[in-house]
């Protein structure tokens, strides 16, 4: 099966200053990221805050440029973004869209709902106001919003309704890939379930592929087919959902799973004693970035660690088993 999205050896860094008179230094935000996404499937991306999840989303949506590596989206290759044409951007956005974390801040408060939803279509296809409104109303109904609400403004909706508006806007160009950046974290638990069920229903109906970014492991486990675990800008474990959750290989993955809330006693996992703080991206350790916190680390972890195949997963750890 052909992949709808493929990323190979992606690097992203920022030029920053730590003081007014200091020299610029490079902050490595993403390091050697590779992944594949099949049509109609969901890849869950997890990791602590600052691991690079949202930066990856910004690179994929052309908000941020990349340093090196390549991205292949539905057969179209993005190498660098220095001289991207307007036509290239337009075609790219028709293939990939994003649903943001905060439904309270991602919608323009001065526009009516139908205008917010129709905007991508108007910009892309230069539709008339009437045609755009009709298409926006159809999309509203698809995501569970009544057409009578089309003239209202965002502040007149609940959090769950606003996130439905964000989903409707993202779907207006009929993309093949949706990036879902913490799409339910700002919602009440009961509303989270409704939005997740809607996303799964839309995926089946429209054959959508999802990149599902979240820190909530229970949500990721519910919706994902594959899991990618990130730590300090690197992929440390990547494999099928059941393999990663039931047989985690990397010590960092084990730490994440052990720290997640348990509903049943049967869900108890191997405890990993992690010490120390997360290293600074300004001063990363050589070799394994997790070695300063890992109870299994020794001198061999100071050399460059490559991804290795273990059962069905890829793991960046020489101690993994």
pLDDT score of 263: 47
- Give per-10-residue mean pLDDT for the chain (321 aa): 90 81 83 95 93 92 88 86 76 92 86 94 84 95 95 94 95 96 86 93 96 92 96 95 94 88 57 76 86 88 91 90 70
CA 81, CA 29: separation in Å to the nearest integer? 17
CATH hierarchy code of domain 37-65+84-224: 3.40.50.300
* Per-residue exposure over 49-71, b if at least 16 CB sit within 10 Å of its own CB, e if not: eebbbbbbbbbbbbebebbebeb
Could you tell me the two tokens for 287? 């070799």
Domain range list for the chain: 37-65+84-224, 241-321
Tens digits of per-residue pLDDT, 249-305? 999 999 999 887 664 455 556 667 677 778 888 888 888 999 888 888 888 899 888
Q: Which of 204, 166, 156, 160 is nearest to 184 (CA)?
A: 160
Tens digits of per-residue pLDDT, 227-260? 999 999 999 999 999 999 999 999 999 999 988 7
CA 210, CA 175: separation in Å to the nearest integer? 11
pLDDT score of 3: 93
């Amino acid at each position: 099966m052909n992949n709808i999205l493929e990323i190979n050896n992606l690097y992203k860094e920022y030029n920053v200053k730590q003081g007014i008179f200091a020299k610029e230094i490079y902050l490595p935000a993403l390091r050697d990221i590779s992944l594949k996404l099949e049509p109609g499937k969901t890849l869950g991306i997890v990791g602590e805050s600052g691991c690079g999840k949202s930066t990856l989303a910004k690179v994929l949506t052309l908000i941020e440029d990349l340093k090196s590596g390549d991205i292949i989206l539905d057969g179209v290759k993005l190498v660098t973004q220095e001289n991207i044409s307007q036509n290239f951007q337009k075609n790219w956005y028709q293939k990939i869209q994003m649903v943001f974390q905060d439904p309270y801040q991602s919608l323009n408060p001065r526009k009516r709902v139908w205008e917010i939803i129709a905007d991508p279509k108007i910009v892309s296809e230069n539709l008339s106001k009437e045609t755009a409104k009709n298409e926006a109303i159809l999309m509203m109904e698809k995501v569970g919003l009544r057409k009578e609400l089309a003239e209202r403004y965002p502040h007149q909706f609940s959090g769950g309704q606003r996130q439905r508006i964000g989903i409707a806007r993202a779907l207006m160009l009929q993309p093949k890939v949706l990036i879902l950046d913490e799409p339910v974290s700002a919602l009440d638990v009961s509303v989270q379930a409704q939005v997740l069920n809607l996303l799964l229903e839309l995926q089946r109906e429209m054959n959508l592929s999802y990149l599902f970014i979240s820190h909530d492991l229970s949500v990721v486990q519910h919706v994902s087919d594959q899991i990618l675990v990130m730590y300090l800008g690197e992929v440390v474990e990547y494999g099928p959902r059941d393999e990663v959750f039931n047989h985690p290989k990397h010590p960092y993955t084990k730490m994440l799973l052990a720290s997640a809330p348990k509903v049943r006693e049967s869900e108890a996992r191997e405890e990993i004693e992690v010490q120390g703080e997360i290293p600074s991206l300004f001063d990363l350790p050589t070799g394994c970035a997790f070695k300063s916190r890992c109870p299994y680390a020794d001198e061999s972890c100071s050399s460059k660690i490559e991804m290795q195949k273990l059962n069905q997963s890829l793991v960046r750890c020489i101690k993994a088993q």
